[in-house]
Chains A and B, each alone.
Chain A
Amino acid sequence: MQLPSLLIVIMMLLLQGCSIEPWVMPYERARLADPIMLMDPNPVSSSYLNHVYQARESARGAESGQGGGCGCN
């Protein structure tokens, strides 16, 4: 999926924003609130693992745990 298509998807979501109703009601969010459903429950650990990968791989960016990279050798 290229960047232009991603942006089109985002903009289409936004254009409907003024009238759209949420399809998951706030009282139905029990499972989503469970800690096992967090995208990044341990930020210190995930940023360390991302650093381990980034130091040994060419690829960088778009990792699940955010935070600045260190730009090391």
Chain B
Amino acid sequence: MRRIKTLLTILVLLSTLLFNHAFASASKLEGAAPDFTLDSSSGENIRLSDHLGEVVMINFWASWCGPCRQEMPLLEDLYKKYQMMGFTLLGINVDEERENAESLLEQIPVSFPILFDPDSELSRLYKVKAMPTTILVDRDGQLRVLHKGYQPGFEDQYEADIKALIRE
């Protein structure tokens, strides 16, 4: 009786581990990127379609999201490196209160545009399923790559995607 219980417990643990597939870090997207206009940290409205002809990385983040905070300085590095080559990064903040985002930006300053989506309208439009979410749009305004979440090492994949899309 006791041995059966122990064996069953081990079986349960093993089967749960075996059924865990490797976490997919990126997936391909199709279709045109839905256009949007949002208020930005610089005070002006920023529109996605104004950036046609550039490779655009759209990053959804929030002040309360740990992996987002980890990712921000790395996104800033990517922006500074590839900005001159026709790349732009739009950081979409989903905090309900703008001041939470602004206080985080004081600690982690970035130079790429920050747009505010406090009512989550854009998050719903883009069907955001994880925090953070990073989407790459090519020069023709087509959706290309989706990254859900952030784990250390993702930034290398971002860089590879950006370089590939710039070269197209």
Contacts and interface: CB of A to CB of B under 8 A. Distances in A.
Contacts of B95: 30
Chain B contact-residue range equals 10 to 19
Q: Is the interface of B mostly helix, strand, loop or mixed?
A: loop
Interface residues of A, number: 8
Interface string A57-71: 000000000000000
B130 A26 contact: yes
A38 interface: no
Interface string B119-148: 010011000111101000000000000000
A27 B60 contact: yes
A54 B120 CA distance: 46
A27 B123 contact: yes
B146 to A, nearest CB: 13
A33 B124 CA distance: 20
B165 to A, nearest CB: 25
Contacts of B62: 27, 30
Contacts of B96: 30
B127 to A, nearest CB: 9
Nearest to A35: B64
Interface in A29-53: 29-30, 33-34
A33 B123 contact: no
B120 A26 contact: no
Interface of B: 60, 62, 64-65, 94-96, 100, 120, 123-124, 128-131, 133
Interface of A: 25-30, 33-34
12 contacts: A25-B120, A25-B124, A25-B128, A25-B129, A26-B129, A26-B131, A26-B133, A27-B62, A27-B94, A27-B131, A29-B64, A34-B64
